[in-house]
């Protein structure tokens, strides 16, 4: 055991029948680019621990964005709770500390689900469409999660044919992805931020339920200031634009996660 959070989950968050569940942080089961995942005493619960490490271009570019782990943890938890209320089931259980959150254990569906409202990044490159072009309707695409292959773009037929998901899974994911977009676009819009595009991931619980997992943060979304079109996301790191930490802080401030200084 590494450490233990003497923290009692609220009854509404308790997955087992016990009322006083103690979330213990046990062995690390996975370390990704931006997060570590730890076992807990409950086989249906894991703890995610957000790091400040940043990578881009499939791990070729590496760096640190100071304070990013705290912002991404808090922003994801804040948004997941709102999405849950909007009808999108998520893996969120309870925030344990600035960087740690108890979440439902899932098997991640190996698809990056990308929704776009405005052309940018790989979409602009692939189709020769200028960044900033307002798409006539939101788009949805899938990348197959495989680092060795560089997360190739695939379609629903590919995903079903290789066993990454079933047709039913794809239909559920599609419905939720657009619900997430509708919610986020409006929410960030009210905070003076245009939601250009974002990537989400889904997982399946033991009983086969599909829920939103992973994170929603400036690492996984493109956020542009509504008035100035200034980039407030990881593109500042990817493209060496400077002001990376400030951009993450600015988004956190705009949505009311941290006090204006
Ligand atoms: N994205 C992500 N992880 C990835 C690839 C993309 O979170 O491994 C996000 C990215 O931040 C953007 C959206 O998905 O908000 C669309 O990214 P795009 O396909 O344009 O790829 P990029 O230009 O970032 O390589």
Among 32, 55, 114, name the best residue to mutate to test ligand 1's pocket (greatest count of ligand atoms within 8 A of Cβ): 114
- C-beta 177 within 6 A of ligand 1: no
146 CA distance to ligand 1 middle (Å): 14
The residue among 44, 10, 6, 46 whose CA lies nearest residue 26 is 46
Q: Which of 72, 105, 138 is the last residue of a domain?
A: 105
Looking at residue 259, its pLDDT comes to: 74
Angstrom distances, CA of residue 181 to CA of 37, 64, 71, 117, 198: 26, 28, 20, 9, 8
The domain that holds 88 is classified in CATH as 3.30.200.20
Pairwise CA distance, residues 256 & 251, whole Å: 9
Consecutive 10-residue runs of the chain (261 residues): their mean pLDDT? Answer: 38 43 91 97 97 96 97 98 98 98 98 99 98 98 97 98 98 99 98 99 98 98 98 98 98 91 61
Q: Same domain, yes or no, for 176 and 81?
A: no
Q: Same domain, yes or no, for 127 and 221?
A: yes
Looking at residue 19, its pLDDT comes to: 53
Within a domain: residue 261?
no
Q: Same domain, yes or no, for 21 and 92?
A: yes
Its pTM stands at: 0.92
Looking at residue 22, its pLDDT comes to: 74
Q: Structural domain of residue 228, as residue ranges? A: 108-243
198 CA distance to ligand 1 middle (Å): 7
Q: Same domain, yes or no, for 174 and 142?
A: yes
Among 56, 58, 121, 177, name the best residue to mutate to test ligand 1's pocket (greatest count of ligand atoms within 8 A of Cβ): 121
Within a domain: residue 98?
yes
């Amino acid at each position: 055991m590494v450490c233990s959070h003497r923290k009692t989950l609220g009854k509404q968050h308790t997955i087992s029948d016990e009322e006083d569940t103690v979330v213990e942080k046990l062995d690390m089961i996975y370390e990704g680019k931006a997060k570590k995942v730890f076992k807990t005493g409950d086989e249906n619960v894991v703890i995610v621990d957000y790091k400040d490490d940043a990578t881009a271009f499939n791990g070729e570019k590496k760096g640190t964005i100071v304070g990013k782990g705290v912002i991404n943890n808090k922003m994801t938890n804040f948004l997941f709770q709102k999405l849950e209320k909007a009808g999108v089931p998520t893996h969120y259980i309870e925030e344990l500390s600035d960087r740690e959150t108890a979440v439902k254990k899932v098997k991640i569906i190996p698809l990056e689900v990308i929704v776009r409202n405005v052309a940018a990044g790989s979409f602009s490159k692939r189709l020769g469409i200028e960044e900033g072009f307002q798409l006539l309707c939101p788009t949805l695409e899938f990348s197959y999660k495989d680092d060795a292959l560089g997360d190739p773009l695939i379609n629903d037929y590919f995903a079903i044919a290789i066993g990454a998901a079933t047709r039913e899974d794809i239909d559920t994911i599609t419905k939720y992805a657009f619900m997430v977009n509708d919610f986020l676009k409006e929410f960030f819009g009210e905070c003076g931020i245009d939601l250009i595009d974002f990537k989400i991931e889904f997982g399946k619980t033991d009983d086969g339920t599909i829920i939103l997992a992973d994170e929603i943060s400036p690492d996984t979304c493109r956020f542009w200031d509504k008035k100035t079109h200034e980039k407030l996301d990881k593109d500042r790191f990817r493209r060496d634009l400077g002001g990376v930490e400030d951009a993450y802080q600015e988004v956190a401030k705009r949505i009311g996660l941290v006090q204006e200084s």
